[in-house]
């Protein structure tokens, strides 16, 4: 277990699983994101169903957080398509249901994604969707970066 996973894991908390199919279980997440004007969840569905992004290239993964049979959130790790540099991953489409926020679900998902990234990437970047999202990533140890394609980055494994 990586440092990130050790920090994020809770003994009775949600379970994290690799996303196998984007189906009706994710319907509430898509519907809520649409209501909130967050477009990236629809993009995730479209790219998944068209096959253009299945998070299945080396080092990539997409994860879900479940509590029983309820899907609480999801998020993925791609090789960063906005740089030609090797060893750069990108967090994509992290979303937690509104009723489940501030309970550590986002931390759990990102922790597992960064744990995965440790063996494939040197750096993980992302573009924060809002100031709230930026605060979330800063809290997780990401640094702000000055790049047209990314707002935050972290080295994996992190510098102690
Ligand atoms: C951003 C998001 C993924 C965070 O998920 P979460 O499960 O609520 O996150 P956590 O509970 O693990 O939060 C950990 C810490 O991050 C910070 N944080 C989380 N959400 C925050 C917010 N809206 N504003 C400021 N800080 C926030 C807090 O310090 C929080 O700890 P606290 O709850 O004890 O204050 C979730 O709010 C979300 O899905 N938002 C809509 C979609 C989105 O913006 N996704 C990010 C795309 S870049």
Domain residue ranges in the chain: 3-155
pLDDT over threshold 70, residue 74 = yes
Q: Is 111 in the pocket of ligand 1 (CB under 6 A)?
A: no
| Residue 158 β-bridge partners | none
Q: Which helix (H) or strand (E) holds 77?
A: strand 70-79
Q: How crowded is residue 84: how many other Cβ atoms within 10 Å of its Cβ?
A: 7
Tell me the pLDDT band of 13, cut-offs 50, 70 and 90: confident
pLDDT over threshold 50, residue 6 = no
DSSP 3-state percent helix, strand, coil across the chain (nearest 5): 35, 30, 40
pLDDT over threshold 70, residue 5 = no
Give dist(CA 76, CA 90) in Å, integer. Answer: 8
- For 3-155, which CATH class? alpha beta
Q: For residues 142 and 3, which has the higher predicted lDDT (pLDDT)?
A: 142
Tell me the pLDDT band of 117, cut-offs 50, 70 and 90: very high
pLDDT tens for 14-30 read 999 999 899 999 999 99
| Closest atom, ligand 1, to C-alpha of 137 | 16
Q: Is 150 in the pocket of ligand 1 (CB under 6 A)?
A: no
């Amino acid at each position: 277990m990586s440092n990130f996973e050790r920090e994020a894991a809770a003994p009775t908390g949600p379970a994290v699983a690799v996303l196998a199919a984007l189906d009706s279980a994710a319907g509430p997440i898509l519907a809520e994101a649409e209501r909130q004007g967050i477009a990236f969840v629809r993009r995730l569905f479209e790219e998944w169903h068209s096959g253009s992004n299945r998070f299945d290239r080396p080092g990539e993964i997409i994860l879900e957080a479940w509590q029983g049979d309820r899907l609480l959130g999801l998020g993925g790790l791609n090789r960063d398509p906005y740089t030609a540099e090797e060893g750069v991953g990108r967090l994509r489409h992290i979303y937690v249901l509104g009723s489940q926020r501030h309970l550590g679900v986002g931390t759990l998902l990102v922790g597992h994604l960064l744990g995965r990234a440790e063996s494939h990437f040197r750096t993980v970047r992302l573009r924060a969707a809002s100031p709230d999202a930026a605060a979330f990533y800063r809290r997780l140890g990401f640094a702000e970066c000055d790049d047209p394609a990314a707002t935050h980055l972290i080295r994996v494994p992190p510098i102690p």
